[in-house]
Amino acid sequence: MFNKLFKIITRKLTVSQTLFWPFVLSFIVLASGCASVADKTESTATFANTNKQAAETSAKETSAGHKSTADNIPGTELDSKLLYDLLLAEMALQRNDYDLAFKKYYEAAKKTRDSRLAKKVTRVTLFSKNDEQTFKAVKLWSELQPDNIDVLQIYASSLINRKQDQEALKYLKKIMIKSRDFDEGFQRAVGLLDTIKEPSRLTSLFAELAKGHEDRVIVKLNQAKLSFKLGDNVGAERHLNEALAINPDYLEASMLKIQLLKKQHRPQEAIALLEKLLKKQPENINLGLELVRMLVAQKQVKKADRQIKCLASMDINPEVIFAISLLAIEINQLDDAKKSLERLYKYRLYASEAAYFIAQLEASRENYAEAATWFKRVKQGRYTFEAYLGLAIVYSQQEKFDQAFKLLDHSQAGNSKQSLEILQIKAEVYAQAKNYKKAYEIYTQALKIAPNNHDLLYGRAMLAEKFDRIDLLEKDLHAILAENPKDNQALNALGYTLADRTDRYQEALQYIERALKINPEDIATLDSMGWVLHKLGRNEEALSYLKKAYDKDNDPEIAAHYGEVLWVLGKTEQARAIWHKALKKYPQHEVLVGTTIRYLK
């Protein structure tokens, strides 16, 4: 019955193309809108190698005075075979059969000479990434719409991919002529060169496009970009300086120069240039944010803090508020960070993220009750699970162990990684409660799930030391080092433990020296080096390492070690001052209290 009806319908399709052809094309477009794969095809506005330019052109063509022939109605009649081929092409597209879709669409486009079908088949080939089919399709499209910028760009790109550079050059120059102005056209044409890997081809084509226009600022900028891409930093800087000499307010050239200065490890010059730009554009939030990032990276805390406060006083969007919050945390300006995060919390979409970071901030300041309040406010989003664990840790720090265990027992892991994290936190809570053997058992349970997990091996090793099983500690740390001989943390832990809990000082020294070579500025390793040298009786050498560690971090255990070496060297008053300062902040720290009892009794 269906076949009979279909024959009746197709017999009647002899009416003028003017009436039915637009309907069929509309049907195909609508069908594409209903198909997930075809959606992808239509949304592939990047046109593969055209650097997104072709997708932006259609909206601009009218204002540029370009006439599109896309709405011209071809004179071909819509017969049954053509209709069948079009429907078959659409169904093939929905089934990801790109070869069949190409064949039928291309045949239809060639037969009808309709530019819309030529455009359609070109997009199909771009999505399927078939260069040969793309070249064939866009060549047909270019015959039908020779002045369409989209076509010119795709065709030029296709020619470049086929290394037909001289032919491509004709179309690149045509793009420059057809664009609204020189700057837009040159930018479009040069953008199509990005896919070229061979420096000689790249520079040759660029030179042809720039010929006769070398003094234009847009050309200077793109010469700098080309030099930068090819690793010619000197050439890039020269071209940027020439561009800025023509137009000192050319922001894009200035920003590229800042990027270049950063790459060349010339941060102070980059900062100076940013500050100069900000004087001219004090309300430019992006410039201000970039300056903060650079000041933070250079540890220029006071200047960074001033700039953060300046940005915070502006009408900035949530993303910028979040960025300056994290930068403030990085330079330890925690009050400023909290103010910005509280401001961010007022935005519903960012409330949970803001709450999570405020909780982390308060936990770092040991304001555990405040931290718990904020962790509970994390209701949704990417940090929900982390907030759950964070709350358990905070309860543990407050010695609310029952609440911590209840929370962890009811926690739900979304994957195996989260399951391990729950076990690890549970073990650490038991350790906080001084039930070291139970904590050790949980780590062992976790290691059955992930036998070679270095974090778990390290955590279990540290627990073994707590109940005097140095042999178990050594076993786990050596297991880590067997797989990664340059694990600084494992080397340092092994060396420090041997120095502190055994008389194997020379062996300990070797491990710590290896760790220090890997990371010379690591605070824990500096402390370990000072401690093992003290054990070896080399106290003057020990003092320099301990002082360096203490200057970086007034940790109570470092303070205990530093004070002890000072005392042994006869600098008792200095030792007392360091211990008293540490005891005010950490009155119950076991190592610190034990050290002071030995020397101040």
Domain ranges of the chain: 1-211, 529-600
Reduce the DSSP state of residue 478 to 3 states and report it: helix
The model's confidence at residue 76, banded by pLDDT at 50, 70 and 90, is low
Whether the pLDDT of residue 107 is over 80: the answer is yes
Whether the pLDDT of residue 472 is over 50: the answer is yes
The model's confidence at residue 90, banded by pLDDT at 50, 70 and 90, is confident
Tokens 């909780």: give the residue. 359
Question: Of 47, 107, 42, which Cα lies nearest the Cα of 81?
Answer: 107
CATH of domain 1-211: 1.25.40.10
- Model confidence over 173-202: pLDDT tens digits? 999 999 999 999 999 999 999 989 999 999
Q: Residues 536, 505: contact at Cβ < 8 Å?
A: yes
Q: For all residues of the chain together, what is the average pLDDT?
A: 86
Say how far residue 564 (Cα) sits from the centre of its chain: 45
- Model confidence over 283-312: pLDDT tens digits? 999 999 999 999 999 999 999 999 999 999
d(CA 119, CA 138): 8
In the structure encoding, which two tokens stand for residue 264, read together?
């060349």
Buried b (16+ CB within 10 A) or exposed e, 583-601: beebeebebbbebbeeeee
pTM above 0.75, yes or no: no
Average pLDDT over residues 552-572: 95
Say how far residue 499 (Cα) sits from the centre of its chain: 41
CATH of domain 529-600: 1.25.40.10
Neighbour tally for 488: CB within 10 Å: 17
Whether the pLDDT of residue 45 is over 90: the answer is no
Whether the pLDDT of residue 245 is over 80: the answer is yes
Domains 1-211 and 529-600 share a fold: yes
Reduce the DSSP state of residue 177 to 3 states and report it: helix
Composition of the chain by helix, strand, coil, percent to 5: 75, 0, 25
pLDDT at 401: 94
pLDDT at 126: 87
Average pLDDT over residues 55-80: 47
Say how far residue 129 (Cα) sits from the centre of its chain: 27
- Model confidence over 135-161: pLDDT tens digits? 898 899 988 988 889 889 988 998 998
